[in-house]
Amino acid sequence: MQRPNQVELSEDIWAAHCDRIANICQQVINRQPGKLLTIQKNTSSHTVRAVNYKQDCHPIDVSSLNHILKIDREAKTALVEGQVLLGDLCRATLSVGLLPAVIPEYSDFTVSGLINGEGIQSSSHRYGLFSDTILSQEVILGDGSAIATDSEQHANLFRLLFNSHGTLGIVTAATIHLIDAAPYVKSSYQHFRTIEPYIAAFERALNKTQFMEGVVYGSGSYVLIATDFVSDIGNLPVFHPQEDGNPYYYQHVKQVVMSDSTPTEEVIPTAEYIFRSMRGLWWMTECIVGLPMLTDSRWGRQYLDREIEKVRSKYGFSSPNLTSEERERCLVNQDMGMKLSRLREGIEYVQQNLNVYPIWNCAVKVRKRDRAAIGEEYVVDVGIYGEPMVPNYRNGCQMRALQQFVDYPALWGVSYLTRMEIHTKGIYDYQAYENIRQEYKAANAFVHLDDKIMWFDTSKPDPGKIPLWRLHSSYGRYWYLKFLVLMVILVGLVVLAISI
């Protein structure tokens, strides 16, 4: 196995890493005949898809790959193993005044998971996708061999590994580009009542600040958030989005812009800002719970945070009481890429056809090599996470129309398009993918990308939302029977008390 070019490692660290890689290579070599490979890890799953396919696969334990091998302050790089958590990486780099250039929103994302599934965040208008910050990768192939890849070595594999959902190889290590950071960030919030000035301000802010994002709270509420690193707090108020019981970050932003007496600038500790979306799961906690008495009160948020963490640690992003199909009937969970020139069109489409709020806007700088094909320098993620409130919502019809409308639908959620339609939109280079699967021995070793994508079954009925779906989600399909039994018990106790 080749030592990475970008960093120099001590002999003992490199030898220990090689031992871990050799163990995993041997697991691959020893797989059961006819079985495809799937990784087994001890970190949380973030997929919204069912993972039943794993039951028939040969598991490869990669949980030992959780070491940060080197942080190079001068080169501004970090060499880390694939199962390193983003939170652990950020703590280590921030301690020496650095951070990954793009930090997707959850601290328990793994580096290999982000390479396989892609990621963006509010610094993407400067640095692009998470994959754009990866300088090299180490990969175990389907035959149990390990190779190093970058833009020059095995360049086609290096390029196609991103967003391949683990179907081309096992990413065991990566070199990540870092940027200078400071202990705090200063955020400013601009509130607009109409869409025209919001879009204009959004375009002006591109590449002007370290972080930027937009949030649409309603048809008359558009907020632009611009954020930069600062070394001290000065005289500004400090908000702690990770503090127990505090308002959730986007709940707090809404309170700030709706109150004339609240300042439009504040400071947030950097370590809390980068994972500000994690508490409250963006705004999905408020959406799913649907009880302002809990989500709008300190004690309620403290209770919900504890309960949600229990569920998330056990089930990941799936629901114990809702199947994937049932969840799709009640909630929209999609990231939709729109060319910057179509941002207004995209927002208005969601407002008119889905009526989901809030709507997240995150600009992503397009790689230079892709700009000619795309025709623009920026693509904007229109993040749609919440309950559609449009009358007579039917997910099969309306999600398919949405994915046909946008420029670049995401593959991580449910696809309502066919493989041919995805190919036509240029989301993924299927021909190159098939060639790489053959060349690098993935075809008979790893699950195909088509089998990792959750495809909507158009042959099934499209019945619309589940009535009282929040009770269904919390207490199961037969929640009403549980309430009926409870009522019978209560009535029985009352009758017994009266008779005595």
Cα separation, 87 vs 64, in Å, equals 17
pLDDT of residue 484: 57
**Residue ranges of E strands in 279-394:** 332-339, 359-365, 378-386
Cα separation, 57 vs 351, in Å, equals 42
**What confidence category does residue 479 fall into, taking pLDDT thresholds of 50, 70 and 90?**
very low
pLDDT of residue 477: 54
Cα separation, 101 vs 337, in Å, equals 20
Query: Which residues are within 8 A (CB) of 242 and not within 5 positions of it... i.e. 6 or more apart?
Result: 272, 275, 276, 278, 279
For 147-169, write each residue's pLDDT tens digit. 999 999 999 999 999 999 999 99
How is domain 11-180 classified at the architecture level of CATH? 2-Layer Sandwich (3.30)
Q: How confident is the model over 487-500, as a mean pLDDT?
A: 70
Please choose, from the candidates 185, 203, 196, 197, the residue with its C-alpha nearest in 3D space to the C-alpha of residue 239. 185
pTM (global) more than 0.85: yes
Q: What is the 3-state secondary structure (H, E, C) of 132-169?
A: HHEEEEEEECCCCCEEEEECCCCHHHHHHHCCCCCCCC
pLDDT of residue 188: 96
Lowest mean pLDDT segment, chosen from 201-205, 339-343, 471-475, 494-498: 471-475
| Residue 244 and residue 280 in contact, taking contact as beta carbons nearer than 8 Å | no
Alpha-carbon distances of 273 from 207, 311, 381, rounded to whole Å: 19, 24, 20
2, pLDDT greater than 60: no
Token pair recorded at residue 15: 């030898």
Mean pLDDT across the chain, nearest whole number? Answer: 90
The residue to which tokens 């309960």 are assigned: 307
For 308-349, write each residue's pLDDT tens digit. 888 877 776 666 667 888 888 899 999 999 999 999 999 999
480, pLDDT greater than 80: no
Please choose, from the candidates 134, 181, 182, the residue with its C-alpha nearest in 3D space to the C-alpha of residue 155. 134
